[in-house]
Every structure is written in structure tokens, then in C-alpha cells.
Amino acid sequence: MRDLAELDIADGTRVLVRADLNVPIEGGVIQDELRIDAVLPTLRYLRERGGVVVVCSHLGRPQGEVVPELSLAPVAQRLAEKLGTEVRLQSAVVGPEVEAAVAALKPGDVTMLENLRFEPGEEADDPAFAEQLARLADVYVNDAFGVSHRAAASVVGVCALLPHAPGLLVAAEVKAFERILVDPPRPFVAILGGAKVSDKLGVIDALLDKVDVLLVGGAMAFTFARAEGGSIGASLCEDDRILDVKAAVARAAELGKELLLPEDVVCATEIASAAETRVTAPTDVPDGWMGLDVGPRTVESFAARIASAGSVLWNGPMGVFETPPFDAGTRGVAEAFASTEAFTVAGGGDSAAALRQMGLAGRIDHLSTGGGASLEYIEAGDLPGLAALRAPDPT
């Protein structure tokens, strides 16, 4: 991919910037501004060079229909406050009125298109919709790593129609993941958590070729525990994936990789702060109880591996960190992750949210903005949006 500095931007150059501003909003109030903050450096860079900046993003899943509750109006307002300039939200995504509004903008001006997913052509990667988007700009910048695993019109289609480059955020994401996946400082330790092992099987398979140690926590660990023949009570388990996790354990042994599962777990009969808890082995959970967090011995064991690592990748929490006291395991691992001298990458999603919630995000070398995108990048080694950026400019 070319560097953003190689893209020809002068006074009045219209730049279509695909951002990932799919932020949580409750009652019209944005709950997490990470993705807004992440795109600011690219927008400032383009404005400083006299570009006319046309920002586009999706919000939620309107499925090709106009849903007023999913308007980008709150995002445009907050973006304007952070940039210190007006960010006018267009009333539509494409069309003659939008084209006229963009044509009237001056160097350094910023406008935002309405929710891309109000248009059915976005997720369908419709060539006609991509052409309408391309008419709004002279060049294209993808700064939306979090959706670069989607072959959408604004990610792939328009990229083929305009001179293009990655934004500063996408370039930083690629650099961080290449460093940790191509030639990582050793030992390379990966931490995987979250609810469903089915979401991570491809990632586990890919990582076993790269890591020295794989630490597995979260609810997904109970499918491993069931595969060992243990009693897991009411803990989450994907019975149809037991053969898959057995194969993963066997492959790790064959490759000489350490695949470490929880030694103990915190159990309760309900997900509630006032619930009675017990600490048991993950293979000895009582009937009617469910494992909701890794236990203290597991935190100690995982922390020791993290402390001695040369690089650490983390994706997925160790338990139901949103509800104390089931946040202790994730907190313990997060503190070890933030304290290590290793090169650290958090792969977006809930693990990134946990680090921010615990005030540790600033101590991580790279905090990804893409949960699903980071997992697919680890598994496949590429993303449709990144492949599109590497293609030559249209002639």
C-alpha cells in the first residue's frame, strides 16, 4: 500500500474518507468515543493540506432502509466539536443534492454523509452505488480498519474507482499486526477469551503456527473442559465443537506449543453482583452453577507467561467483566498485559473495551479499533479492504 503522504492532495482536492464511526449511542449520547478519536489524525492531516473532506460511515444495522434512530447526527456533532470546525451532516448518502453540496465546499471544509447502510447498495457492494460515491471525490482514503473485512461498496467498490491510500489509522493497524504476526519478538504469547469457541477456531489454528504459548480463558474454555470429560454444570459449552477443540489441543502438542487452559474458575448460579460465588476447577463445576470468570490461580499462571513474553496479543475477556465480581480475572490479566515490557497488541472488541474501562488502554502499544476485523486478519492474513488498497489506481 502507498503511504497517505504519496496521495496527491492540494487545495480543493475532494477526499472521500471511509471511517468507522459505528459508536454506541444511548438516548442520543455517545457512550464510547474511541473510534471518533482514532480517525481525527487523518482528518486533520487532510484539512491541513487543503483537502475538502467528505466523511462516510455506517451506524448499526438498518439493512438498507432509513432508520431515523440510526442517523449519524450525534456523531457529526461530536466530530465537529473535536475538530473545532463545522461538520455538516448531509440529509442523504448520495444523489444530486449531495453532489451539489460537496461541490460548494472550500479547502479545509468537512461534511459527513448520512448512514451508508441506509442504502441497500452499500453492503451488497453494488457497482452503481460505488460509482455514486466516487462522484463525490477526487481521491479515496480508507481509515476504517474495523470494517475492512467487509467487501462493501464504500470499502472495496469505490476504492477501485479512485486514486486511493490508507489513512493513518489503517496504516498503524497494519504495521502493528504485521509486527506481531510476521516476525514477533519471542516468546510470542497469545491470549484468547470470549464466549464462543466457534468464533475463534480459525484464529486458534492460525495462531498455533506462530505463537509459543496460547492462553485460553472466557466461556470458550468450557468447551475444552467438556472435551476433557469434565463436569461444567450450566456453563456455556458448544457441544458440536468438542471434536474441533480436541483437534486443536492435539495440534498444539504436535507442534510443541503450550496451550494453557484455566486451572480454576469463579462460579455462580446467576450473573449478578450479589450472587454467591465459588471457586472450582473448570472440570468440576456443580450442577446448576456456571463458570463466569477465571480464578486467581489462573490469573497468576497467565500473568507469569505474559511477564516473560517478548510480544503479547490479546483478544477476548476472561469472564463477564461487565458485572463485578466476575471482572477480577479480566482485570488481573489486563494488569499483567499492561505491565509487561513485551510488545502488546489488543485485538479490539471486548478486550479493548475492558482495557479502557479499567484505565489501562494508554499502557498498551497498540489498541485495535477492529474486533471482527482483527480476528479475520489474524486468521486469513489479509482483509478485502486492505487488498483493495494494494491494487493500482484506476487509469
Catalogue the active-site residues: 35, 196, 349, 372
Question: Which uninterrupted H or E stretch holds 223?
Answer: helix 221-227
> Do the beta carbons of residue 319 and residue 218 sit within 8 Å?
yes
- Using omega within 30 degrees of 0 as the cis cutoff, is the peptide bond preceding 127 cis? no
Q: Which residues pair with 215 in a beta bridge?
A: 191, 260
> Do the beta carbons of residue 185 and residue 313 sit within 8 Å?
no
Alpha-carbon gap, residue 232 to 248, rounded angstroms: 20
Cα pseudo-dihedral 305, 310, 316, 317, rounded to 10: 40
> Do the beta carbons of residue 276 and residue 269 sit within 8 Å?
yes
Chain position carrying cell 483493495: 388
CA atoms within 13 A on the CB side of 164: 32
> Do the beta carbons of residue 118 and residue 93 sit within 8 Å?
yes
Terminal-residue alpha carbon distance, the chain = 17
CA atoms within 13 A on the CB side of 274: 0
All cell numbers assigned to 285: 463445576
| Cα-based distances in Å from 163 to 18, 128, 151, 250 | 14, 18, 18, 47
> Do the beta carbons of residue 284 and residue 231 sit within 8 Å?
yes
Which residue type is seen at 297? R
Chain position carrying cell 452503481: 128
